[in-house]
């Protein structure tokens, strides 16, 4: 199997967690990586290089696609890094006969829903910024390649990935490293999937998102941000009418990139 964005925070966790579970692990990133096991094969490349991406996926049966621009940025940068990069990855998977592609989407595709509303993956998207828009496009590309070319695709709408919650909003959005790895494992192994979208979020008492789709993939999260509530600043939890995206939904967060 392969991991793009393998040098990133989530990529590093997935790499360490899956290394001993596969026969061969292909690591793709723009920065140089050093193999930590005879199983690991490293490719330093830019996902915008379609030929290099296709070559890297030779004899790969599954891909966890974590590479791309990780936060709000000017739209041309997001289109280049997230949308174009994902298209190259999916086209490479099609050409190389990859069995399963797991795409890293984001909770920020629905960040304008109010805190008081529980959101499911089948509800209309309401992105909270340009980054969210780029992840909507990532999901649309995944759906296209599933419908048109028969590729098996799982989109994980990743929550706030942290070792522990660091702000009140994380009481709803936190994704622990353990649960992150659990969702990825399930997305790779779930049988008979053509296209599926699930929120990857820990079992937070206050979570905004429905996790039934994740359970259908075969994983039920175990960690709850509530155990950290005493470590967080008092107050500051968003009101029911506030957008789930918090500061990401503010005009100021995007205006500086326009």
Residues 143-173: pLDDT tens digits?
999 999 999 999 999 999 999 999 999 999 9
Alpha helices in the chain (DSSP H): 9-18, 50-56, 75-78, 85-96, 130-149, 170-173, 177-189, 212-217, 251-255
- Residue 235 confidence (pLDDT) above 90: no
Domain ranges in the chain?
2-255
Q: Which two tokens stand for residue 115?
A: 């805190």
Nearest Cα to 108, choosing from 43, 161, 38?
161
* pLDDT tens per residue, range 175-227: 999 999 999 999 999 999 999 999 999 999 999 999 998 999 999 999 999 99
Structure tokens at 107: 């909770």
Q: Which two tokens stand for residue 47?
A: 């996902």
Kindly give the pairing relationship between strand 2-4 and strand 62-65.
parallel
pLDDT digits (tens, 9 = 90+) for 9-33: 999 999 999 999 999 999 999 999 9
Nearest to 123 by CA among 197, 221, 218: 197
Locus of tokens 């209309």? 124
| pLDDT, mean of residues 107-115 | 98
Return the sign of the alpha-carbon dihedral for residues 216, 18, 108, 232: positive
- Phi (first) and psi of residue 236, to 5 degrees: 90, -10
Residue 218 near residue 33 (C-beta atoms within 8 A): no
- Which of 100, 202, 235, 117 has its CA nearest to residue 154? 100
Mean pLDDT within 67-91: 98
125: pLDDT strictly greater than 90: yes
How far, in Å, CA of 195 to CA of 175, rounded?
Answer: 22
pLDDT band at 130 (very low <50, low <70, confident <90, very high): very high
For the chain, the straight-line distance linking the first and the last C-alpha, in angstroms and rounded, comes to: 38
Q: Is 248 a catalytic residue?
A: no
Instruction: Share the mean pLDDT of the chain.
Output: 97
| pLDDT at residue 244, rounded to an integer | 98
> What CATH number was assigned to the domain covering residues 2-255?
3.40.50.720
Give the CA count within 13 Å in the CB-facing half-sphere of 106: 31
In the predicted model, is pLDDT for residue 84 greater than 90?
yes
Active-site option among 113, 131, 219, 248:
131
Model confidence at 234, in pLDDT bands (50, 70, 90)? confident
Q: How many residues are recorded in the chain?
A: 258
Q: How far is CA 50 from CA 3, 14, 27, in A?
A: 16, 24, 16
């Amino acid at each position: 199997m392969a991991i793009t964005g393998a040098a990133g925070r989530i990529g590093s966790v997935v790499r360490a967690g899956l290394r001993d579970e596969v026969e061969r692990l292909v690591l793709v990133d723009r920065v140089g990586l050093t193999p930590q096991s005879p199983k690991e094969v490293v490719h330093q490349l830019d996902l915008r290089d379609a030929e290099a991406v296709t070559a890297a996926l030779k004899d790969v049966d599954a891909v966890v696609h974590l590479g791309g621009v990780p936060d709000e940025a000017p739209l041309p940068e997001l289109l280049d890094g997230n949308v174009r990069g994902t298209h190259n990855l999916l086209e490479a998977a099609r050409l190389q006969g990859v069995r399963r592609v797991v795409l890293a989407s984001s909770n920020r595709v629905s960040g304008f829903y109010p805190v008081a509303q529980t959101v499911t993956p089948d509800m209309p998207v309401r992105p909270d910024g340009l980054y969210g828009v780029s992840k909507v496009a990532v999901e649309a590309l995944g759906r296209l390649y599933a419908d048109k070319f028969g590729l098996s695709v799982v989109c994980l709408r990743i929550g706030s990935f942290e070792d522990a919650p660091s702000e009140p909003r994380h009481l709803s959005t936190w994704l622990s490293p353990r649960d992150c790895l659990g969702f990825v494992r399930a997305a790779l192994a779930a049988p008979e999937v053509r296209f599926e979208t699930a929120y990857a979020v820990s079992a937070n008492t206050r979570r905004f998102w429905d996790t039934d789709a994740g359970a259908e993939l075969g994983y039920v999260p175990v960690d709850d941000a509530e155990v950290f509530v005493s470590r967080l600043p008092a107050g500051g939890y968003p009101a029911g009418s506030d957008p789930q995206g918090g500061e990401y939904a503010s005009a100021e967060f995007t205006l500086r990139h326009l």
